[in-house]
Structure 1
């Protein structure tokens, strides 16, 4: 298979040096995996050009007494302590959460929040099967509507989950972090606020007639942390430009891949927002190194019926730049 033939959303690549194989994880799509159900599947490649048909590595419905079986968004796999840990976001629309109180925006969106959050599952293999560690609840605090949890390990070896706190509950979406216990399934202490979506000042550029072209909600999606060569901490994240909200809460508009940096190198920041890396309805990207040590970013485009797109990247100090689009690998478009 080639990337233009591979339905995928929220791609996450593990470059496994032991087998010289790239593992590309995404939400299960029965039309290509041949397996029904909410879960995670993985494509494999030795060259980023030719990929195997996907294998399903996690199904929510197979987990005993799991709290939710919908979603299956943004799967990531991380090696930790000699085992592999899967993070993926589930939700249950029948378990409502409190409506946010009025704030500076008022309450313009009467879309109810419901239980949503990232679960942690574990396996001894990159090919699974993955078993959820705590089936009773998501890993972040269950009173928060969250998604897209990712792993960050600080210089002291302390693991964190960094996640997006949904605009459905906050109106101005935020990025937050919480410490994890060694099993990565339990949290320690309270969440730490990192930044809010409206901190990206470029969202309010080109103001027509004195009115902002970007009104709430402000979306925060898809965090991924990466240490830069100068010691800064970088976070890829995605949002919408000139967004609109449908009656079901679905966002539309210009999905973009952007990033922020913490010059202190610490998760606590302060975080500086940078201009978008890729527009064109693109986003939820992550960085990885190829086996010949090229820095690569994979993301999906367009948001609907998405396919994987690849970009060679470079650091200039703490800033991240696109070197070139790898249309030779992702088929163009």
Structure 2
């Protein structure tokens, strides 16, 4: 009886070990800052000297600061909207995801909602083609994402590792909308 008991336990343990070895490991996520510049390259400049596409300014009452973002992924700060310091890095993404290590960053917007900060931003990976328009162009993988932070200056992290929009949709220019207490993301 003891031999049968030990034999059964041994088979059970071997089965567990074998099952664990057949599972494919989860990919390791690599969250990395993208866009902006390192801290030693921060500058102060006047508003009329900034060159920024798709600008968006968040006026944050909590920090008494203005935060300016735009395509390219840089963040600038100001207390008076005349002199701006930056560019700061504020976006982090999983570089092992479809976004890749060097995505294009388009039309970010910063919004405060119920005590948290949200960044609505479009990422484009030119290496991934989702569609082709014959004799015209290749449609690159592009998607609007929502990132979140506890601070207006970031760092902002994706709210989800899952894609919440279809991969074959080329979405862009997301913005925040609230109606009847329900938050929405509106996008093109």
For the criterion TM > 0.5, the same-fold answer is yes
* Equivalent of residue 89 in structure 2, options 26, 32, 56: 56
* Equivalent of residue 144 in structure 1, options 145, 150, 169: 169
Shift of 1:5: 2.3
- Aligned residues: CA RMSD: 2.1
Deviations 1:175-203 (CA, angstroms, capped at 9, x unpaired): xxxxxxxxxxxxxxxxxxxxxxxxxxxxx
Asked whether 1:112 is paired with 2:138, we answer yes
Q: Which runs of 4+ in 1 moved over 6 A?
A: none
Shift of 1:18: 2.5
* Equivalent of residue 2 in structure 1, options 41, 46, 66: 46
**What secondary structure does 2:62 align onto?**
coil
**What secondary structure does 2:75 align onto?**
strand
Asked whether 1:96 is paired with 2:129, we answer yes
Q: How does 1:274-289 map to 2 (within 5 A)?
A: none
Q: Is the 8 A contact 1:64 1:135 kept in 2?
A: no
Greater RCO (CA < 8 Å, at least 6 residues apart): 2
- How many correspondences in the alignment? 142
**What secondary structure does 1:4 align onto?**
helix
Give the structure 2 partner of residue 67 of structure 1. 98
Give the structure 2 partner of residue 20 of structure 1. 64
Larger of the two Rg values belongs to structure: 2
**What secondary structure does 1:146 align onto?**
coil
Judging changes above 3 Å, is the alpha-carbon distance between structure 1 residues 98 and 26 closer, same or farther for their aligned structure 2 residues?
A: closer
Q: Is the 8 A contact 1:65 1:135 kept in 2?
A: no
Asked whether 1:127 is paired with 2:153, we answer yes
TM-score, structure 2 normalization: 0.67
* Equivalent of residue 181 in structure 2, options 157, 161, 183: 157
TM-score, structure 1 normalization: 0.39
**Structure 2 runs not aligned, ≥5 long:** 1-44
Measured in 1, the distance between the counterparts of 2:187 and 2:86 equals 30
Higher helix share: 2
Measured in 2, the distance between the counterparts of 1:131 and 1:97 equals 25
Measured in 1, the distance between the counterparts of 2:159 and 2:95 equals 11
Measured in 2, the distance between the counterparts of 1:116 and 1:55 equals 24
Give the structure 2 partner of residue 78 of structure 1. 111
Measured in 2, the distance between the counterparts of 1:27 and 1:118 equals 13
Shift of 1:124: 0.4
